[in-house]
Amino acid sequence: MAVGSQLWHLQLGPRDGREPLVKPTRKSIISPVASAWDLSISASDFGRLKVGFRPECMEDRWVIQVTDPDPDHDGGATLIHISRSWTYMELYTLHVKKGDDGSIKIESITWKGNQFDAVSGEERSKKEAMYLCRALLGCAMEAFPKDD
């Protein structure tokens, strides 16, 4: 049996905390563009982000993973990686950091720079990342407005 990232989503089983049989390598964002965000989130939403999302079937098109804080990289931020499940191509990274006062903020977002035109890229990337966090993880993200 061939082993590759296309098979990963078929071998996971339910989201019960088990490790996948095959753990593919996430492909870094192509032409990354970053923007400061400073979006406050709740402890509950942060907990949901850290759990992430693993696809259960072929129709699930997204995977959300966390990289734990590393004080030597990314300023000690927790990185939330939002990728396509079939290609494992990362499209968005949320940089989340806890403040000394206990507050939690998405400090910045990185997205695929050639994905949208330059004018709408930041706004569309933030909207899509928030939509995916709400739809897949059940996050409230109360500080970010919902589309009507």
Domains belonging to the chain, first-starting first, are 26-137 (3.30.530)
- Whole-model pTM: value is 0.79
CB half-sphere exposure, 84, CA atoms < 13 A: 10
pLDDT digits (tens, 9 = 90+) for 21-67: 445 567 888 889 999 999 999 999 999 999 999 988 888 899 999 98
- CA 111, 126, 98, 90 torsion: positive or negative? negative
pLDDT digits (tens, 9 = 90+) for 102-114: 899 999 999 988 7
